[in-house]
Chain A
């Protein structure tokens, strides 16, 4: 089953890279400051949230994160939010644009023979480039923040980004194997995804500590894969915690990952051959 997707990628690696570069150019072409939009838009969003919560609602100066120690881990709100929102930008784009990718690249499905699953890979890669660029900016800020608070600039926990970042890419790629063919079939499905996304943001621990819940809600928060990545990035840069230290969180995520992966392969194979008829 997975072989159909793997086969489509085989020997096509260089072309995928070229196509992902194209996709990136297409996204920012025609704008005067072009690629700077990749930074301006997120920067403005970060500013707005900081302004609303730190300067507007004056209560939020510090966040206490419940990491399981006797005292909550205390961190200033801006840093807490900034580290969590960078993966969110990637996740948001991946879910929305990922589901639209087949529809917007339909010329490769209805007009020529093409390894269709690679469309999802190269459009995903083009988003990853933007994310990596923002990640560099984030890392610069993290170092600045550490020096400012009297910590050493680098930490051994930083290397975990090599675990979280590729995993995040893979997870949302596998998700698009399901959502993209379904959105190609039905525009309603695409609209459904777009309309729930802003809600998803407030249901995820980007602006608040997702560990600070009890009972059923605690598990509901752990079951949200977006929390896994937001907290994962904070593990790297803030919490000084290894990804395997909170085992429940890791196991729940891995089970979900396998499920999303299997479902993605199932849905892609189920719908692939009917795509040229409906697009």
Chain B
């Protein structure tokens, strides 16, 4: 297995793509039942049923690019994002990510519930590989952005889900990420905070951060991303200017509709 996530030397950063996928494949094994699962602990399963989530995916993303990722449910979008954020790992192929990744995906997850909001800022900071001085610097910015007031020193278990989301969002956008991963289906509480979030995302994009934007909505992809990747059944079908990619996607959808009518 050559499935390492390689960290490149800082000197080489300027020329290198910020994210690079090389022949990345990922297969989920579907166990027939619990016995098969238990057996698989000790023996390799023979001809197991599998689901190829990603199939030989390769692409490069340069620093500062904004990329849209489109495709139907189950096309492998979330698997791809999980790999970029370092949650999931490929079976084969190589993934290189040169920089801090902020993921606006599951904002309420990954908190330690007995810790205070402030302590969780440090926890998340350390997980992202930041040092203490840096976290101290951005701590106030995060607290201010999350609008938590005195709640910041209360345990996170006392937070409403909206508060957790706000804190999660505030941490992710204030660490000055090199890569921002956004899911369009993201919901961040009430209307006024939603506007604030949209503005912040726009600000980050404007500042030249690399953005990966996942969406079903063609219009919003067109608005943000000049380049898009279309995934179908785990494979890259088209990778190019957004207009082209969306046309391929649209054509495919229509061809399916036609087939159904027949």
**Using a CB–CB distance below 8 Å, which chain A residues touch chain B?**
11-12, 15, 18-19, 21-22, 25-26, 29, 107-115, 182, 185-189, 273-274, 276-278
Q: Is B114's CB under 8 angstroms from A25's CB?
A: yes
Which chain B residue shows the least CB distance to A277?
Answer: B28
A-B pairs with beta carbons under 8 Å apart, 23 shown: A15-B126, A18-B112, A21-B114, A107-B109, A107-B110, A109-B87, A110-B87, A111-B87, A112-B85, A112-B110, A113-B86, A113-B127, A114-B127, A186-B34, A186-B37, A186-B38, A186-B40, A186-B41, A189-B38, A276-B88, A276-B89, A277-B28, A277-B88
User: Separation in Å of the B30 CB from the closest CB of chain A?
Assistant: 11
B156 to A: closest C-beta gap in Å: 10
A277 to B79, CA, bound (A): 10
Q: Could you tell me if A19 and B87 are in contact, using CB atoms closer than 8 angstroms?
A: no
Q: B80-96, CB under 8 A of A: which get 1 and which 0?
A: 00100111110000000
Shortest C-beta distance, A115 to chain B (Å), equals 7
- Closest residue of chain A to B126, judged by CB? A15
Does A113 lie within 8 Å of B87, measured CB to CB? yes
Closest residue to B35 on the A side, CB-wise? A188
In contact, B28 and A108 (Cβ under 8 angstroms):
no
Residues of A within 8 A of B115 (CB): 18-19, 22
- B119 close to chain A: CB less than 8 A: yes
With A107-B109, A113-B87, A276-B82: A18-B38 Cβ-Cβ less than 8 Å:
no
| B89 proximity list for chain A (CB < 8 A) | 273-274, 276
Interface residue ranges, B against A (CB under 8 Å): 3, 28, 34-35, 37-38, 40-41, 82, 85-89, 106, 109-110, 112-115, 119, 122-124, 126-128
Residues of B within 8 A of A115 (CB): 127
Query: Shortest CB–CB separation between residue B33 and chain A, in angstroms?
Result: 11
Q: What residue in chain A is nearest B82 (Cβ atoms)?
A: A276
Bound CA–CA A25/B157 (angstroms): 12
Is A12 a contact of B110 with CB atoms below 8 Å? Answer: no
Contact A185–B87 (Cβ < 8 Å): no
- The distance in angstroms between the C-alpha atoms of A132 and B41, with both chains bound, is 35
What is the distance, in angstroms, from A117's C-beta to the closest C-beta of chain B? Answer: 13
The interface residues of chain B lying within 8 Å CB-to-CB of A26 are 113-114
Q: How far is the CA of A84 from the CA of B85 in the complex (A)?
A: 47
Name A114's closest neighbour in chain B (CB-CB).
Answer: B127
**B-side contacts of A25, CB under 8 Å:** 114
A19 to B113, CA, bound (A): 10
The 9 closest A-B pairs by CB, nearest first: A112-B110, A111-B109, A113-B86, A22-B114, A273-B89, A186-B38, A188-B38, A111-B106, A25-B114
A15 to B35, CA, bound (A): 38
Q: Among B3, B41, B128, which residue has its beta carbon within 8 angstroms of that of A185?
A: B41
Least CB separation from B91: chain A residue = A273
Chain A residues, Cβ within 8 Å of B28: 277
CA distance A29 to B82 in the complex (A): 33
**Which A residues lie within 8 Å of B88 (CB)?**
276-277
Known A113-B86, A114-B127; further 14 A-B contacts with Cβ < 8 A:
A18-B112, A25-B114, A26-B114, A110-B87, A111-B87, A112-B85, A182-B41, A185-B41, A186-B34, A186-B37, A187-B34, A188-B35, A274-B89, A277-B28
- The verdict on A114 contacting B110 (CB below 8 Å), with A18-B115, A185-B40, A185-B41 known, is yes
A272 to chain B: closest residue by CB: B89
